[in-house]
Structure 1
Amino acid sequence: MKCISLFVCFFIGLQSLNVPDYERLVSNIESKVEVVDQDKASFLSLKCRDVSNAIQNKQEDLNCRMDSQSQKLEDLKLLYKQKKNYYELKKMEYGLNLVSIQKQNLIFQSYWIDKDLTKCFNEYKCSQNDYLKSKKQWVKNKHKLDLYASFLTRLDTCQKRLFSRFSTLSQLNDSGEFDQDSIIAGSEALPGYGGYEILENNGMSCLVDGNYVIDTYSSFWQNPIENGTISARCWAYPDGTLHLGLDIASPMYSDVYAVANGIILYAHAPVESNNGYLGNMCGWPSGAGNSICMVVAVHDKLYAISCAHLSNEIYVTSGQQVGQGMTIAKSGNSGNSTGPHTHIEVFELKQNLNSIVDYFRNSGADFSFGCGFNKAATCSDYACRIDPETVLEGV
């Protein structure tokens, strides 16, 4: 209870902290990364996540203000140059006319010209001061943005280090509860595999009675995420800990594509896009955060594909037919995750579509298709879990 109370106090005050406070917080987290034990690793990762999110919020707000400030700075710079040029022109004119004015003894004319020149000078200096003051504030904010970026880099390093020390905490499992409304309703009257109805106006495709116009298997595999990088390969993490999928790192909200023509078995986004930390078991399967499971047809085979740790921007629903290359979601950092990436698992299916849909429904949305989450390269009566890199092209 004491630990929870401390966390609540920490969380409540987080948004109001300034740069020196964040420096102390980040330094404090860095000092604990190498000495924390496994029982406290999840809490430290959670704290790291919350500090990162708070800093990102500050960063986004400051970026918005600086966008407006940059335009204002350009306007002030332009005005300052105009005032300066006008003053220089007036001063030159005064110099050219000064001799003539003195010869004619036009004292009052000299007085008014001098007064006008002084006014121009004051306006020029005032606009210069406004510009320099605004520029100073902009430079100060730019420095603050650089500090925020530095804090986020350091916190990301902390998360990666926690992950490398306690990768056993990063697994998915089926100990939680699936969302009944997010699972495909049934297998009756499914169209021919790969078929979907093109609806007028929006081009969406759904499992509805209608005129199905496409009934083909895909002839190749679509890259699920363009310009992503593999952060962890299948079967084992670098430390040898079990890893049952392929991790593709990419910036938050990268497009996630349907790898082939397919049907959505499960799609649910119950949490925030960036709520990930080590040991966070939200979502289905437990730890997946926001997730999608689908069956796809490539060449002459059926496969199941699951994607975990997505953002809450999911564009498909269970039972929907999708075409290859369609954007089905945006990537995120949800669930048992310590950084933006998409965890992908692939299963080569042994039975027909109807049997697979029936099993998926009756098993309670089993993302492992009977293969479990405890061993690598396992098979069941329904599927064999395979290394995604053996089929995905271009990853």
Structure 2
Amino acid sequence: MKYISLFVCFFIGLQTLHIPDYEMLVSNIESKVEVVDQDKASFLSLKCRDVSNAIQNEQEDLNCRMDSQGQKLEDLKLRYTQKKKYYELKKLEYSLDLNRIQKQDLMFQSYWIDKDLTKCFNEYKRSQIQYLKSKKQWKKNKNKLDLYESYLTRLNHCQKRLFERFSSLSHFDDSSSFDQDSMIAGNEALPAYGGYEILENKGMSCLVDGNYAIDTYSSFWQNPVENGIISARCWSYPDGSLHLGLDIASSMYSDVYALANGIVLYAHAPVESNNGYLGNMCGWPSGAGNSICMVVAVHDKLYAVSYAHLSNEIYVTSGQQVSQKTVIAKSGNSGNSTGPHTHIEVFELKQDLNSTVEYFRNSGADFSFGCGFNAAATCSDYACRIDPEIVLEGL
């Protein structure tokens, strides 16, 4: 009972705190990561995400202000340097003039020289004070940015630790519903592999048949995320929990590529790019966040490929034909996700393109192609789920 009360107090504190004390918030989250039970793990991951997003928003605002401050600081430094040099030059000139004036006993002229020199000195000191004040403020903001970065590092560690303890919560299912407008409209007159695209007015993509002389199937697999690293392999997480795809970690908004020539079956971005937390079942399939599913053609075979946890920057639409290495989206951290990465699943298809599209439409955008989300390496009448590393080359 005492533990629950503490947790409720923590929640109320997050909601009512007007001036964020991030040290307190981060420390509170850190103190609960190792003791929270599975029932409250998603809640804690959500709070971790909310605090991270709040810090990132302030970080972005501060970066913008510092960009402006940086230019102002350079201008003040230049002005201060110029005023200093001018004063030192005048001081040297006036010292020579004063020697001459004193010899000639021209005290009245000496008075004006002193007054002019004092004016130069005051201007130099004012520019110095303005520059030093601006420099101090810039350093203060820089220290705040460094502090924000340390908070984000700590919160990222909390999310990773929650994931390590409760990776069984990180899954997809079909408990929600798909978006009808994001699914391919039909299976008649599908564009042939090897077609190409042109741009109409307003930059909309238009499919154009033809150019069939080129090889329509890709001869190799494209790496899906540039400069990404594998963060979790297929079939199981380190703790043994089921994992049905390949996770490729990368920075937010990294380019995500079409693995091969193909056609898009589903593309939908219903949520924010960085809304992920453990147990967040938004998107389609439930937990995928922003997602894409497509059929690709490689080595005389057809495969289905799905991408999950994308940002809301998706550049393809259902029914669109896509060439290999086309940037189809930017990576994100959406849905049931505890950090920026792209989740990829691959299915070797047993049916032709028309039959696959017909099944996909009639099943209600089944990203598993009849294989479900409850077991590894499963097969159906339409496809077999395979380890993406079997076909992806050079990862």
Alpha-carbon distance in structure 1 between the residues aligned to 2:180 and 2:232: 31
Structure 1, residues 21-48: CA drift from partner, whole Å, max 9, x if none?
1000000000000000000000000000
In the other structure, the counterpart of 2:46 is 46
Answer whether contact 1:258 1:325 (CA < 8 A) is retained: yes
Amino acid at match of 1:304: A
Amino acid at match of 1:260: A
Answer whether contact 1:273 1:334 (CA < 8 A) is retained: yes
Alpha-carbon distance in structure 2 between the residues aligned to 1:66 and 1:122: 28
In the other structure, the counterpart of 1:248 is 248
Answer whether contact 2:289 2:308 (CA < 8 A) is retained: yes
Amino acid at match of 2:346: V
Alignment of 1:57-206 (within 5 A): 57-199=57-199, 206=206
Distance apart, 1:7 and its partner CA: 8.4
Distance apart, 1:138 and its partner CA: 0.5
Alpha-carbon distance in structure 2 between the residues aligned to 1:6 and 1:350: 55
In the other structure, the counterpart of 1:36 is 36
Answer whether contact 1:271 1:334 (CA < 8 A) is retained: yes
Alpha-carbon distance in structure 2 between the residues aligned to 1:84 and 1:112: 20
In the other structure, the counterpart of 1:230 is 230
Structure 1, residues 52-79: CA drift from partner, whole Å, max 9, x if none?
0000000000000000000100111111
Distance 1:373 1:193, change over 3 A: same
Distance apart, 1:190 and its partner CA: 1.3
Answer whether contact 2:360 2:369 (CA < 8 A) is retained: yes
Distance apart, 1:371 and its partner CA: 0.6
Among all aligned residue pairs of Structure 1 and Structure 2, give the percentage whose two residues are the same amino acid: 81
Structure 1, residues 172-222: CA drift from partner, whole Å, max 9, x if none?
111111111111111011133343444467887545xx5332461111111
Amino acid at match of 1:212: G
Alpha-carbon distance in structure 2 between the residues aligned to 1:51 and 1:291: 25
In the other structure, the counterpart of 1:351 is 351
In the other structure, the counterpart of 1:328 is 328
Answer whether contact 1:331 1:342 (CA < 8 A) is retained: yes
SS in 1 for 2:296: strand
Distance apart, 1:160 and its partner CA: 0.2
Distance apart, 1:103 and its partner CA: 1.2
Alpha-carbon distance in structure 1 between the residues aligned to 2:203 and 2:274: 30
Alpha-carbon distance in structure 2 between the residues aligned to 1:140 and 1:294: 49
In the other structure, the counterpart of 2:23 is 23
Answer whether contact 1:11 1:50 (CA < 8 A) is retained: no
Answer whether contact 1:278 1:336 (CA < 8 A) is retained: yes
Structure 1, residues 220-274: CA drift from partner, whole Å, max 9, x if none?
1111111001100011111111110000001111111111110000000110000
Alpha-carbon distance in structure 1 between the residues aligned to 2:394 and 2:204: 26
Alpha-carbon distance in structure 1 between the residues aligned to 2:13 and 2:46: 12
Answer whether contact 1:197 1:212 (CA < 8 A) is retained: no
SS in 1 for 2:292: strand
Question: What is the RMSD computed on CA atoms of the aligned residues?
Answer: 1.9
In the other structure, the counterpart of 1:367 is 367
Amino acid at match of 2:33: V
TM-score, length of structure 2 as denominator length: 0.94
Moved beyond 2 Å, runs of 4+? 2-14, 191-207, 210-215
In the other structure, the counterpart of 1:218 is 218
Alpha-carbon distance in structure 2 between the residues aligned to 1:288 and 1:39: 21
SS in 2 for 1:49: helix
In the other structure, the counterpart of 1:276 is 276
Alpha-carbon distance in structure 1 between the residues aligned to 2:176 and 2:7: 23
SS in 2 for 1:62: helix
Alpha-carbon distance in structure 2 between the residues aligned to 1:202 and 1:390: 40
Distance apart, 1:392 and its partner CA: 1.1
Answer whether contact 2:191 2:321 (CA < 8 A) is retained: no
How many residues are matched? 389
Distance apart, 1:5 and its partner CA: 9.0
Query: Where does structure 1 lack aligned partners over 5 or more consecutive residues?
Result: none
Answer whether contact 2:256 2:329 (CA < 8 A) is retained: yes
Distance 1:27 1:253, change over 3 A: same
Alpha-carbon distance in structure 2 between the residues aligned to 1:335 and 1:39: 18
Alpha-carbon distance in structure 2 between the residues aligned to 1:11 and 1:212: 59
Alpha-carbon distance in structure 2 between the residues aligned to 1:92 and 1:185: 84
Answer whether contact 1:271 1:283 (CA < 8 A) is retained: yes
Alpha-carbon distance in structure 2 between the residues aligned to 1:125 and 1:200: 61
Amino acid at match of 2:209: N
Alpha-carbon distance in structure 1 between the residues aligned to 2:262 and 2:138: 50
Alpha-carbon distance in structure 2 between the residues aligned to 1:165 and 1:93: 75
In the other structure, the counterpart of 2:302 is 302
Alpha-carbon distance in structure 1 between the residues aligned to 2:199 and 2:211: 11
Amino acid at match of 1:344: I
In the other structure, the counterpart of 1:338 is 338
Query: Where does structure 2 lack aligned partners over 5 or more consecutive residues?
Result: none
SS in 2 for 1:380: coil
Answer whether contact 2:52 2:152 (CA < 8 A) is retained: yes
Distance apart, 1:323 and its partner CA: 0.7
Alpha-carbon distance in structure 1 between the residues aligned to 2:82 and 2:205: 59
